[in-house]
Amino acid sequence: MRIGIVCYPTFGGSGVLATELGKALAQEGHAVHFITYRQPVRLNEFNANIFYHEVRVPEYPLFEYPPYELALSSTLVDVIIKYDLDLLHVHYAIPHASAAYMAKQIVKEKTGRDVPFITTLHGTDITLVGKDKTYEPVVTFSINESDAITAVSNNLREETYKYFNIKKDIQVIYNFVDINRFDKKPIDAFKKAVAPKGEKIMVHASNFRKVKRVCDVVRIFAATQKEVPCKLLMVGDGPERPVCEEAINKLGLENEVRFMGKQEQMEEILAISDLFILPSEYESFGLAALEAMAAHVPVLSSNAGGLPEVNIDAKTGFLFNVGDIDTAAEKAILLFKDDQLLEQFKEDAYQHALTFNINNIIPIYEKLYNRFCRCG
Ligand code: GMT
């Protein structure tokens, strides 16, 4: 099939997922057209079946807010017609679903063809941004106009029905991970540089938005390192980083914590890590946690949103109530003090991650696409 993928090209989970999906579909022989404002972060390999179309938003002094959605819709129209796309798959409803709806109408008007579009809901498009009154009517409309709707967890599906008047079925298709990519041997020199005395290594990765509660990561680490020697790696960047750095300085932990910035080689960092911390206020799924598990790293996460669908309490890691630092630190200490237990959790985390392996999930998307295939 000829598939158009629309996503945010950033380090965010929805963009990562969309890019990995596109790459896997291309390997299966589909022609995949990415339509975004920048080359997606993980679109870093050559494949003859992958095409990239940049959405350009012309600058004009009148535009205090450049109309990205219109530029996207127009680019979609061009690409659909020029490459005779069979369908569009848009990731993150805002503004991609409404842009796809607009493009669909224009293509129908121009060519008579009805090009289906699938909307995959990822999380904040529903739970934070989408239910804001400013966007709600457009989000509800464009989700309902989608030819198929998917959500990345049962929790997100329920949240969507709770907050929006959705009249169609929402299919849950879990996020996935390429297990082989995360099957890395630790680089000894790197491990030594981070933890010279063989300290345990905690890691957190996110976009450092408020919803991630990055200061909780620091507080969990602070309490844990009082009991067991350990180090903390903070991967990513975003608005909460200064507050987080301030908290670290106040606690006098500057030498124990390293900020790694945005990283494309997350697998190398995970390969030396012992525990992944994700204390989020909400996660529809927690792709970063799944990637950690694929790298044999157990997860200490809040029990918010879809996290319990990914992280199995007392098996692949531990769950705690949002903000319950004491319980979280208690669990980290438990794992770090007992090597045998930690090894068991590492293995269980990996085994559970296998159930989300890319090979299990891609056929589900293909089956969905086939419902709209023109080839019969
Ligand atoms: O986590 C973020 O803030 C980024 C966001 C995104 O859309 O890129 O992530 C959301 O989608 C990911 C992929 O489906 C999920 O794994 C994340 O849990 C979800 N984030 C939230 O729900 C906060």
Q: Does this chain's domain 2-176+358-370 share its CATH topology with 179-354?
A: yes
Residue nearest to atom 19 of ligand 1 (CA): 123
Instruction: Give 14 Cα–ligand 1 centroid separation in angstroms.
Output: 6
Superfamily of 2-176+358-370 according to CATH:
Glycogen Phosphorylase B; (3.40.50.2000)
Nearest C-alpha neighbor of 275 from the set 212, 226, 341: 341
**What per-residue confidence (pLDDT) applies to 375?**
67
Q: For ligand 1, is residue 282 a contact (CB within 6 Å)?
A: yes
Going from the C-alpha of 8 to that of each of 92, 225, 289, the distances in angstroms are: 8, 37, 20
Q: Is 14 in the pocket of ligand 1 (CB under 6 A)?
A: yes
Residue 122's CB is within 10 A of a number of other CB atoms, namely 28
How far away, in angstroms, is 85 Cα from ligand 1 center? Answer: 27
Mean pLDDT (10-residue bins), the chain, 376 residues: 96 91 96 96 88 93 91 98 98 96 98 97 86 89 98 97 95 97 91 97 97 97 98 97 95 96 93 98 97 98 98 98 98 98 98 97 97 77
Q: What is the pLDDT of residue 205?
A: 97
Q: Which atom of ligand 1 is nearest to the CA of 156?
A: 22
What separation in Å is there between the alpha carbon of 283 and the centre of ligand 1?
A: 6
Q: Give the start-to-end residue ranges of the domains of the chain.
A: 2-176+358-370, 179-354
d(CA 179, CA 240): 31
The best mutation among 213, 287, 299, 307 to test binding of ligand 1, ranked by most ligand atoms within 8 Å of the C-beta, falls on 287
Quote ipTM for the complex.
0.96
Q: Where are the alpha helices (DSSP H) in the chain?
A: 13-27, 68-83, 93-111, 124-127, 136-145, 154-163, 188-194, 214-225, 241-250, 266-271, 287-294, 307-310, 325-337, 339-354, 358-370
Could you tell me which CATH number the domain at 179-354 has? 3.40.50.2000
Our answer on whether the CB atom of 164 is closer than 6 Å to any ligand 1 atom is: no
Q: Count other C-beta atoms under 10 Å from residue 341's C-beta.
A: 13
**Which pLDDT score is estimated for 11?**
75
Q: Whose CA is nearest to atom 17 of ligand 1?
A: 286
**Atom from ligand 1 closest to the CA of residue 175:** 14
pLDDT recorded at residue 264: 85
Any atom of ligand 1 within 6 Å of the Cβ of 207: yes
Model confidence, pTM? 0.95
Rg of the chain in Å (alpha carbons): 21
pLDDT of residue 131: 75
